[in-house]
Structure 1
Amino acid sequence: MWKWCVWGLGFPLLLSWTGCAQLGETPIIMGGDEIFKTGELTGDTTAVAPAAGQKDLAEANKKRGGVVTQTVGDSTAPLSQTLLFVPFKDLSKYKGPWDIYSQIPRGLSDTLQSYDFFRTIPIDSVLARLKGREFNGRIAPEKALFWGRELNADYVVLGEIEDLSMKRFRATVPIGGYRSYQGIASVTLKLFKVIDGRSHGEVRGDGETDEKKYGVTNPAAFVKFEKEYLLLGELEWGSDEFHQTLLGQATGLCLQNLAAELANLIRPPPKLTVSEPKIIDIDGARAYINIGLAEGIQNGDKFGVWDEGRELTDPETGVFLGRALSRRIGVLQVEQVLGDRLSLVKIISGQENIQKGYLVRAE
C-alpha cells in the first residue's frame, strides 16, 4: 500500500487514485474503504465479471432492443453513400456483460440518421455471416469487403474500441475532501471503399465527461456517482438510465464526434464545371462519362442521370410545343477515373432508361 502525504495550508492532504472500473464489474473494497483513514492511499480491488459468451450471439443481437439503424430503401438511397459496419475490436480490455462489439456500431448507425448523405446497412446482416472470433471484431479487411460486395455497400467500416471506462479519483483531508468521477469513450474507425478495395483513411472519436464533488464527509454529495461506479454494469446498454450516466454521456459524445468526422471524410462529389457533363458511351451495365480528374471526382462518387424531357405536343393539332422538365432516371457510380475528362462508371439504377447523351449531375 502506497502512502502519500502532501503538506499544505497547515494540514496533511491525502490523495487516492482508485483506477478504472471496468464496465460491468462490481468493485469490491477489500477490508473496508480505508480511503477515509488520513495518511493512507488505497486502491479499489475489482471482481472481474465473465465476458459475455458468443454462442448464438447473432440471434441474441436480433432480439436485442435499443438502437434502430437507418436502412437502405427510400427514394434518395441510390445517391447516398451506404456504410456497412462490422463488429468493432476491443482494445480497452473490457470484461463486462455488454456486447460492446456490436452495440457501439449500432449506436453509430443511429447517430448517422441525421446525415442525409449516409445510409447504413443493419449490422444484423453481418452478424448472420460471422463465426467464432469474428463476433469480437477479429475481421480482416478482405473479409469485410467481401460482405460489403454481397450487401451492396459503398464502404465497409472496421473499428477499434480504445477506451470505454469509468474512473474515480478521491482525496481526503481532515476538514473535507474531494471526489472526481470520469466517463471515457474512445473509438477509431478504418474505412475501405468496396468499389476498389482501397483504404479510405481513418477517423477517431473521443468523449469525456466528469463530475467533481467536494466534502466527502457528506455522502449525499457523491452517492449518485458512487452508485454509477459500482453498479454501472447492471444497467442495460442503450437504456435511458445508461444515457444519463457519465459513461453513457461520454459514449454519446464519442459517437457524435465519429459521425462528424465521417461526414468530413466522405463528402458528396464536387460541383461539375463541364458545360455539358454527359454519358458519351454505354456498354451494358457500364458507361463512360466526360468528367474525370479535372473535376476532382473519385472512385465511388455517385451522379444522377437526367433525361432530355419528353416531347410535348398539342393534343389536337400535333404541333410540337416543347419539352417537359427533365427527370432523374438513373444513378451512376464512378468505377475508375481514366483521365482528365474521362471516367468509367457503373450503372446502379435506371439501366433500362439511360441513353447516350443524357446529362450527368452532381446532387
Structure 2
Amino acid sequence: MSARHRWFSRGGLALLAALYWGADGGAAVVPIMGLGDQNEEEEAPRDSVVSDSTISEGLKQRLLFMPFRDKSKYKGEWDIYSAVPRGLTDSLRGSAFFSTVSIDSALVRLKKKELQGKLDVERALAIGREVDADYVVLGQIDEMSMKRFRATVPIGGYRSYQGLTTVRLYPYKVIDGEAAGEVIREIAEDSKRYGITNPAAYVPLEKEYFLLGQMEWGSEEFHNTLLGKSVSRCLDHLAAGLDSLIQPPAALKVSEPKIIEVVADTVHTDTGENGQSSVLVRLSAYINVGLADSVQKGNKYGVWDKGRELKDPDTGEVLGMSLPRRVGVVQVEQVLSQHLSLVRILQGEDAVQKDYGIRAE
C-alpha cells in the first residue's frame, strides 16, 4: 500500500473527524551507465513540520522508467532493455524538477517478455500507480551500433568509423494516463578518416569494431569507445528533452492562492488477518485556482503557513509575525472550474490547514 496513505480503524476514523472538525470550525548530469494497538496510537501534533529538503523532493515529478523495447536488432550479451533506462536515470540525477523511482521497482513486477519492453501503456500505468510515480516512461531503442566505412581507389583510400545511438521516449502521466509527447534523439560519434596506408591509426578502431561486444557495459573501456560516447551524449540529450517536454506549473494569477477547505475522504475498506475491518482515509483539499491559472492534473504546489506570532520572551509583548514556512505539498487531482481544483495532500498532512497559501515552485 502506498506510503502516502494512512490506515485507521473505525474508531480511528472517528478520532480523525474530531480532530479536523473541532473547536476552531476549520478543516484543517553526468550519466553513469550500468547495468501496538491502533486505538492507542497517538496522532502527530498539528504543528509538526516536514523538513524543507523532504518537501523540496516531494515537489519534483517522480519518473518511473520501464525497460525499453529494442528495435535495433542488437544480438549481443548486453541487457540494453534495462541498461539504457538506468543510464538515463543517472543522467537525471541532480535535476531540480525530476526525481526517479528505481527501475527495479518495475522489473520485479514484470513478466519475462515485459522485461524486454514488450508491455502496453495500461500495464505500465498500473505499476506507476503502485509505486507512486507521477510519470511512467516507455522507450524504444531504434539504433545502437558501431559502423565502419571503407573506400579504396587505385592509389589509396580511407577508413572511418561511427558509433550511432537513436532512442525514443514516451512519457505518460500516471494520474490520467495522458501522453506527454515524444522525445527522440539520434547521436553519432564519428572518427577521423584514416588512410589505408596508415594502419597504426585505424587498427585500434578496427579492434574496437570487432571486440566491442566483449566489453562490459558501462565500464571505462566502454565509455572510451565511439559507441560508448554516442550513448552517453544521447542520454544527456534525452534528459534535456524530457526537461523541455515536462515543465513546472505556471505561476498562479490569483492574488492570494490558498487552501480553502481540507477534507478527509474514505477511500477503501479492507479486512485484516484478525478479521477487523479497517478504513483507508486520505486527506484532500480544495484550492482557489483552476482553469484560469492553467492548472493541470498532476501539478504540484508547495503549501505555506501564515507565519507565527512572535513575543518578547521577557515581557510577553507581541513583536510581530514570523516569515511563512513551507509545510507541505499538494497535487492536483481534478480541475473543477475556472477558480477551483481538488488536490491530494502528499506531504504535511498534519500541518496543512485552511487558508494556508500555495505557490507554484
TM over 0.5: yes
2:197 and 2:177 mapped to 1: Cα distance? 60
2:33–2:84: 8 Å Cα contact kept in structure 1?
Answer: no
C-alpha separation in 2, matches of 1:214 and 1:82: 46
Q: Which runs of 4+ in 1 moved over 6 A?
A: none
Q: Distance in 2 between matches of 1:228 and 1:294?
A: 57
Classify the secondary structure of the residue corresponding to 1:199.
Answer: coil
Aligned pairs for 1:255-294 (under 5 A) are 255-284=235-264, 285-294=283-292
Query: When the two structures are aligned, how many residues end up with a matched partner?
Result: 295
Deviations 1:170-216 (A, max 9, x none): 01122211112111101111111111122111111221111132320
CA 1:274 to 1:257, structure 2 compared with 1: closer, same or farther past 3 Å?
same
> Which amino acid in 1 is paired with 2:66?
V
Q: Alpha carbons of 1:67 and 1:163: their partners in 2 closer, same or farther (altered >3 Å)? A: closer
The residue that corresponds to 2:305 in the other structure is: 307
Counterpart of 2:225 (choices 221, 245, 266) is 245
In the alignment, the residues of structure 1 paired with residue 234 and residue 358 of structure 2 have an alpha-carbon distance, to the nearest angstrom, of 38
Aligned 8 A contact 1:160 1:188 in 2: yes
Which of 295, 298, 320 aligns to 1:297? It is: 295
CA distance in 2, matches of 1:339, 1:268: 21
Q: CA deviation at 1:76?
A: 2.2
SS at 1:258 equivalent: helix
Distance 1:68 1:178 in 2: 35
Q: In the alignment, does 2:82 pair up with 1:84? A: no
Q: Quick check: 1:81–1:118 contact (8 Å CA) kept in 2?
A: yes
Shift of 1:318: 2.5
Which deviates further from its counterpart, 315-324 or 280-289? 315-324
Q: Offset of 1:316 from its aligned partner?
A: 3.1
- SS in structure 2 at match of 1:222: helix
Letter of the aligned partner of 2:119 in structure 1?
A: I
Q: How far 1:222 moved relative to its partner?
A: 0.6
Q: Find the counterpart in structure 2 of residue 348 from structure 1.
A: 346
2:129 corresponds to 1:149: yes
Q: Could you tell me which amino acid in structure 1 is paired with residue 337 of structure 2? A: G
Tell me the CA shift for residue 290 of structure 1: 0.9
> Deviation of residue 314 (structure 1)?
2.3
Gaps of at least 5 residues in structure 2 are 1-31, 36-52, 265-282
Q: Structure 1 114/315 Cα, relative in aligned 2: closer, same or farther at 3 Å?
A: closer
| Displacement of 1:75 | 4.9
Give the secondary structure class of the aligned counterpart of 1:268.
coil
Q: Residues of 1 paired with 2:244 and 2:301: CA distance?
A: 19
- Please give the secondary structure, in 2, of the residue aligned with 1:101: helix
Return the alpha-carbon distance in structure 2 between the equivalents of residues 110 and 342 of structure 1: 38
Q: Secondary structure at the match of 1:282?
A: strand
Question: Please, which runs of 5 or more residues in structure 1 have no aligned partner?
Answer: 1-65
* Alignment partner, residue 174 of structure 2: 194
How big is the shift at 1:234?
Answer: 0.6
Indicate the SS of the match to 1:273: coil
Q: Provide the TM-score with structure 2 as the length reference.
A: 0.79
On the 8 A contact 2:145/2:227 being kept in 1, the answer is: yes
* Structure 1, 157-166 or 311-320: larger mean CA deviation: 311-320
Aligned equivalents of 1:266 and 1:213: distance in 2? 40
TM superposition shift of 1:297: 2.0
Measure how far apart 1:303 and its partner are. Answer: 0.4
> Which 10-residue stretch deviates more, 113-122 or 226-235?
113-122
Secondary structure, counterpart of 1:286 in structure 2: strand
Output the aligned Cα RMSD: 1.5
The partner residue of 2:215 within 210, 224, 235 is 235
The equivalent residue for 2:276 is: none
Cα offset for 1:315? 2.5
Partners of 1:300 and 1:334 within 8 A in 2:
yes
C-alpha spacing 1:343/1:266, structure 2 compared with 1 (3 Å): same
Query: Paired residue for 1:26?
Result: none
- Distance across 2 between alignment mates of 1:111 and 1:161: 17
Question: CA–CA distance in 1 between the matches of 2:55 and 2:320?
Answer: 28
Distance 1:206 1:341 in 2: 43
Mapping of residues 1-363 of structure 1, within 5 Å: 67=33, 74-284=54-264, 285-363=283-361
Corresponding letter in the other structure for 1:177: G
- Aligned identity (percent) is 58
Partner Cα separation in structure 2 for residue 318 and residue 146 of structure 1:
56
Q: Partner residue of 1:46? A: none
Question: Partner letter of residue 307 of structure 1?
Answer: D
- The residue identity in structure 2 corresponding to 1:317 is T
TM-score, normalised with respect to structure 1: 0.78
SS at match of 1:166: strand
